[in-house]
Structure 1
Amino acid sequence: MNSLKIKPGLASIVLLLPALFFSVAGVLYPAFGVAGANRLLDTMMAHGVFKLLFSPVVVLGGPLAAFALNAWKVLHLSADIVNDEFVIALSVRRILGHLLWLALAGGLAVCLVAYAFVENFMIVAR
């Protein structure tokens, strides 16, 4: 019986697409004055399927899942006792494809979390 093998690159792009589309649409209007992306996003949000696709769980969870998927392939954590000392080592494999997806997913996740923090941050007078 053949098991279904999911390629990490394809899985990463599928997980990152909603967040990438949402982020690019958010940047195009203020930076370049392109309103078409926002109109397309408004039209898409009128349908139930796209409301689910652009929910915060999918938009924030997709990059985090892609980061975890690629970190699983790239990072290796080991612990051992050497000369009565407890040694923990983190090694990074040089797999360019996974490293690129890891950097893209990590950068996108950091940008989205920073945006969510700044957008919801309130200065409270004391």
Structure 2
Amino acid sequence: MDVTQVIEGGWITVIGVTVVFTILGILALVLYFVGWLERRLVEREKPAAQPTATPSPAAEVKEEKPSIPPRDLAVITAAILAYTAEKASQLRPLPFRRKVSDSWRLYGLQTQMEDVEDFNYEIGKW
């Protein structure tokens, strides 16, 4: 192989990589601009915030979430765990064969043997 061919291949590689990353950079900038433009348009569409009267402290109502008593929570948790344990014990493992077939291995060996035979034929060993 000639040195000029290696240098030419290197330049083609450098030019190709430069083109690819330049295009990717342009796409990134376009996508960034589209996102920026969309944010600006959404901000314009929002109505101006209208001042609201602050509620008096007496008017505040605390909303309490319904709580489950600890005893009931423990019973529910135990029931769920017992149910999942029962379901897990009913599962049976599916049988499977580790070695589906030897056809791919044999095909690979046959191909290698044919390659060796062709090579030997080409150099005149047969």
User: Normalising by the residue count of structure 1, what TM-score does the alignment of the two structures yield?
Assistant: 0.21
User: Normalising by the residue count of structure 2, what TM-score does the alignment of the two structures yield?
Assistant: 0.21
Q: Point out the structure with max Rg over C-alpha.
A: 2
Pick 1 or 2: higher relative contact order, CA cutoff 8 A, min separation 6. 1
Greater strand share, 1 or 2? 1
